Amino acid sequence: MNMRRLSTLALAALGAAALAADPPPPGNDGGNRWRQRLIAENPELKDVDPNTADGQERFRKVMQAQMAKRMGEMQAANRAKLKEAFAMPAEDFAAIEPLLNRVETLRTQQRLADPAVMPMMRGRGGPGGPGGPGGFDPARLLGDTPLEPEVKEVADAAKALGALVADHQANEAEVGAALARLRKARTAFHASLGKAQDELRSVLTPRQEAVLVDNGTLE
C-alpha cells in the first residue's frame, strides 16, 4: 500500500466518522442491524435503550471511541510507512517529527473544522458548519485535544456564518461581516500552515519532500 493510498484512507475515515457521529434512528432495518453489530462488539450496550436521549449519547460515545481507535491505527500505519520511505536513522526521524506533527495536526483539524475542505462535515441536518445547526462538532473525534487557535477561529467563523445562512431574518450587514470574518480566518490559517510546511520542508531532502508532496502533507 503506497503513501497516497494511506492518505486517502485516512481522509475517508474522517468522512466516515462525520457520517457516523450520530447513531441511526431506531425503527429501520439498517439502523437495527447496525445496533445489533455494535452491541455484539460492546456488550455493555445490551440493555441500553436507543430511544432515549441517554441511550443515544451512550451509543454515540462508543462510536466515537471506535472511530478514534481506527483513525489512530491508520495514522500509526501511515507513520510507519513514512519512516520506511524516508530511510533515515530513528533518531534523525525523531528530530523532525515535531515539525511533521505540526503540519499533520493543522491539516487534520482543518478537515474536521472547515466545511469548505470536507462538505460532509456539515452534517446531514442542513447548513451551519461545524457545530452549527445540523453540523459536525470536531470535539466528537478530538475529545480533550483542543483545536489549534487558527483552526478554532475558522470553525467559529464558519459556525457563525452558517447560523446566519439559516436565519432568513439576518440582515445583509451581518452576513457581510460574517463572510469577511471567515475569509480572514481562512487566510490566517493558510499562513500558519504555509509557515509550518516551510519549516518542515527546510529539514528534508528532495526525495523526502517528494514523498510528503505525493501523500498530500506538503503542497
For residue range 153-209, what is the model confidence (pLDDT) as tens digits? 999 999 999 999 999 999 999 999 999 999 999 999 999 999 999 999 999 999 999
- What's residue 177's pLDDT? 97
29/3 Cα distance (integer angstroms): 37
Residue with the larger pLDDT of the pair 167 and 34? 167
Top-confidence residue, 37 or 27? 37
112: which 3 cell numbers? Answer: 474536521
Short-list 107, 111, 155, CA closest to 130? 155
Q: What is the pLDDT of residue 38?
A: 84
**Cell numbers given for 62:** 462508543
d(CA 212, CA 13): 20
| End-to-end CA, the chain | 21
127-142, pLDDT tens digit by residue?
444 444 445 566 666 7
Most confident among 83-97, 99-113, 191-205 (mean pLDDT): 191-205
Instruction: For residues 20 and 65, give the distance between their C-alpha atoms in angstroms, rounded to a whole number.
Output: 11
Quote the CA–CA distance of 100 and 92 in Å, as a whole number. Answer: 13
Query: How crowded is residue 122: how many other Cβ atoms within 10 Å of its Cβ?
Result: 22
CB 129 within 8 A of CB 155: yes
The confidence band for 53, taking pLDDT boundaries of 50, 70 and 90, is: confident
Amino acid sitting at position 138? P
Q: Is the pLDDT of residue 146 over 80?
A: yes
pLDDT computed for residue 128 by the predictor:
44
Predicted local distance difference test score (pLDDT) of residue 11: 47
Q: In whole angstroms, how far apart are CA 100 and each of 57, 89, 126, 136, 211?
A: 35, 16, 35, 26, 13
